[in-house]
Amino acid sequence: KFTLFTPNPDGVYLEFDLNIMAVPDSLKQSDGTIKFKIFAMDARGWGASGEYSYGYNSPTSYVMADGDWHHVSLHLKDFKASNNSGLFTADQVTATAGAYCHPNSLRILAFVFGTANSSGKGTMTYGLDNVKFVIN
């Protein structure tokens, strides 16, 4: 559970270290990366009434699946308000026009990993460390 209080997302980053330890080749992109995005759930929760009540999608990102730790930094201004249809794939970002992440309502972060092809299946083992909000 995360809480962030700031007047706007300018200069605010979500940062973390990610290590893809074990993953089937069918889940990797052709360049050896894993596709992912972050879905940040709003304080109002699933299906609650109100403006942008479902959450926020980050841009689609990639991390090397080489067993090493990689630092990831995502600017909150690049998260877009979305309904829950944006949660299901790493490619889909259903955004509400003109809406950006409202930092004061963030509560729960979910990682959404994508596959290199629609038939890709398997179990992935990954490590996550040093999750933090950074204000520059």
Averaged pLDDT for residues 98-113 = 73
pLDDT-derived band at 48, boundaries 50, 70, 90: very low
Averaged pLDDT for residues 67-85 = 85
pLDDT-derived band at 14, boundaries 50, 70, 90: very high
Residue 64 pLDDT exceeds 90: yes
Q: Show the tokens assigned to 21.
A: 């330890």
Tell me, what's the pLDDT at 44?
54
Residue 26 pLDDT exceeds 50: yes
How far is 30 from 94, CA to CA, in rounded Å?
25
Averaged pLDDT for residues 42-62 = 65
Whether 100 contacts 79, CB under 8 Å = yes
Dihedral over Cα of 5, 73, 128, 32: its sign = positive
